[in-house]
Amino acid sequence: MTAIDPEQVARLKALPAVHVLADAVDGVAPRWAAVEAARRLVAERRDAIRSGSAAASTIGVDEVRQLAIALAGPRLRRVVNATGVVLHTNLGRAPLAAAALAAVAETARGYTNLEYDLAAGQRGSRHAHAEELLRALTGAEAACVVNNNAAATVVALSALAGGHAVVVSRGELVEIGGSFRIPDILRASGCALVEVGTTNKTRLADYEAVIDEGTAMLLKVHRSNFAMVGFTDEVSERDLAALARARGLVSMIDLGSGCLLSRERQRALGLPEEPPVTEVVASGADLVCFSGDKLLGGPQAGVLVGSAAAIARVRSHPLMRAMRPDKLTLAALCATLALYRDGRDAEVPAVAMMSANAEALRARADLLAAELAGVAAAAGLEIAVESCRSTVGGGAMPLAELPSWAVTLRATSGADALDARLRAAAVPVIARVEDGRVWLDLRTIADVERDDVVAALR
């Protein structure tokens, strides 16, 4: 047992009572939050004193108030994405278009025809709403939607190849992140993986050689988050689909990030080229799946398009019930798809951000720098406008570097401390730390968010 230090005991005794501290911030936060804040701060101070630190016994009312307000506030909060990564998975991927937000609000407010056929006056299908738009936009015969693309692959594999073998090229046994690995997904779907080819080269003959009575599917997986260059070869979607058809098998393409813009439109917007979903569907694959919140710029969802027969099998699989999307997802997805259909793709925030040109971004960086100048000077920060490169993110277009402009801040206390202060703001600003500076990339900062950045720095 350690000897009792009378001075330590005195300081412990001098700690304020929890209820007294909570009373002191009465009215600024719900009672439970005030009590919880007071309890945590007292416990923290007690532990500090016991462990021999020179912590004082006093606890400021400001400290309690701040913590109580933070505890009572929402855990899931809006942040400013100043990283320049357009589809940042940690920051919730694609922000929704105004039309999608309006559709969510309208749908959430009251009742909807989610599973009700208004013309027939009887039960309908929740898949019907998005299906019509997806057929028009991709040229596929049929479509359905689940909660994300990982769910889309699992339900499709289970429905079309469960209990059988699925052939995949060794160059496509990828890990997407968040523990999504193709071999694990196949196992979880009750499929046996048959690897063909080598890491860098897979030929049609490799697939042909392994097909037997146990084979159900030829699967192709888009290398979303990395690229292979040099001595490489892979089988096209068209050849894979044709081989599957000739041998009575199903073919499926996991596109990862589905792009609904035509090649012509991609060029007009100055975007790095990505195979449009229409092209992949036209290759003849039975099933094509992709995410709703990657290049498409909609809500988190998994989209499956393909032949009527394949989609029907997916829809009637028992797992579908566990993975079906809710009305809010469907509302946001349908509204986003309608923007593409109506030639209003520039209203999709992810598309607008990816296609913003360098001059426009420079002008916005100059504007932000001017607005920040006063606060920066007062805080002793060195401010500059610099060119930089932003990325698409979300495991899409791994090689694409989009020329952009940033406001950079240099603090004598160091970039990490300044970065932490920006993250602690009422509306947190998530920046990039590089080269001993904090970088605020204008590609992902909306005009209406400039005030948030100024407030955070203040």
Ligand X SMILES: *Cc1c(COP(=O)(O)O)cnc(C)c1O
Binding site for ligand X (CB under 6 A): 148-150, 176, 180, 221-222, 224, 254, 256-257, 291, 302, 395
Is the Cβ of residue 291 or residue 404 nearer to ligand X in the bound state?
Answer: 291
Q: Which residue is nearest to ligand X (CB)?
A: 256
By C-alpha distance, which of 165, 210, 213, 223 is closest to 192?
165
CA atoms within 13 A on the CB side of 283: 24
Is the Cβ of residue 257 or residue 266 nearer to ligand X in the bound state?
Answer: 257
In the complex, minimum distance from the CB of residue 148 to ligand X, in angstroms, rounded to a whole number: 3
Is the Cβ of residue 83 or residue 291 nearer to ligand X in the bound state?
Answer: 291
By C-alpha distance, which of 201, 441, 107, 147 is closest to 319?
147
The 3-state DSSP class for residue 8 equals: helix
Is the Cβ of residue 92 or residue 428 nearer to ligand X in the bound state?
Answer: 92
Q: Which two tokens stand for residue 315?
A: 């829809």
DSSP string computed for 53-86: ----S---HHHHHHHHHHHHS-SS---EE-S--T
In the complex, minimum distance from the CB of residue 176 to ligand X, in angstroms, rounded to a whole number: 4
In the complex, minimum distance from the CB of residue 272 to ligand X, in angstroms, rounded to a whole number: 16
Q: Quote the CA–CA distance of 336 and 332 in Å, as a whole number.
A: 6
The tokens 């993975």 sit on which residue? 323
In the complex, minimum distance from the CB of residue 371 to ligand X, in angstroms, rounded to a whole number: 36
Is the Cβ of residue 83 or residue 148 nearer to ligand X in the bound state?
Answer: 148
In the complex, minimum distance from the CB of residue 6 to ligand X, in angstroms, rounded to a whole number: 60
Is the separation of the CB atoms in 288 and 256 below 8 Å? Answer: no
Is the Cβ of residue 164 or residue 181 nearer to ligand X in the bound state?
Answer: 181
The 3-state DSSP class for residue 253 equals: strand
Is the Cβ of residue 68 or residue 151 nearer to ligand X in the bound state?
Answer: 151
By C-alpha distance, which of 120, 165, 180, 113 is closest to 334?
113
In the complex, minimum distance from the CB of residue 51 to ligand X, in angstroms, rounded to a whole number: 44
The set of residues, in sequence order, having a beta carbon less than 8 Å from that of 162 and lying 6+ positions away, is: 189, 190, 191
Is the separation of the CB atoms in 289 and 149 below 8 Å? Answer: yes
Is the Cβ of residue 148 or residue 169 nearer to ligand X in the bound state?
Answer: 148
Q: From the centroid of its chain, how far is CA 41? A: 35
Cβ–Cβ contacts within 10 Å for residue 251, how many?
A: 28
In the complex, minimum distance from the CB of residue 301 to ligand X, in angstroms, rounded to a whole number: 7
In the complex, minimum distance from the CB of residue 274 to ligand X, in angstroms, rounded to a whole number: 12
Is the Cβ of residue 70 or residue 228 nearer to ligand X in the bound state?
Answer: 228
Is the Cβ of residue 182 or residue 381 nearer to ligand X in the bound state?
Answer: 182
CA atoms within 13 A on the CB side of 158: 18
Q: Which two tokens stand for residue 396?
A: 């899409």
Q: Quote the CA–CA distance of 358 and 141 in Å, as a whole number.
A: 40
In the complex, minimum distance from the CB of residue 427 to ligand X, in angstroms, rounded to a whole number: 26
Residue type, position 443, single letter: R
**What is the torsion angle, in degrees rounded to the nearest 10, for the CA atoms of residue 306, residue 309, residue 310 and residue 315?**
100
In the complex, minimum distance from the CB of residue 289 to ligand X, in angstroms, rounded to a whole number: 8
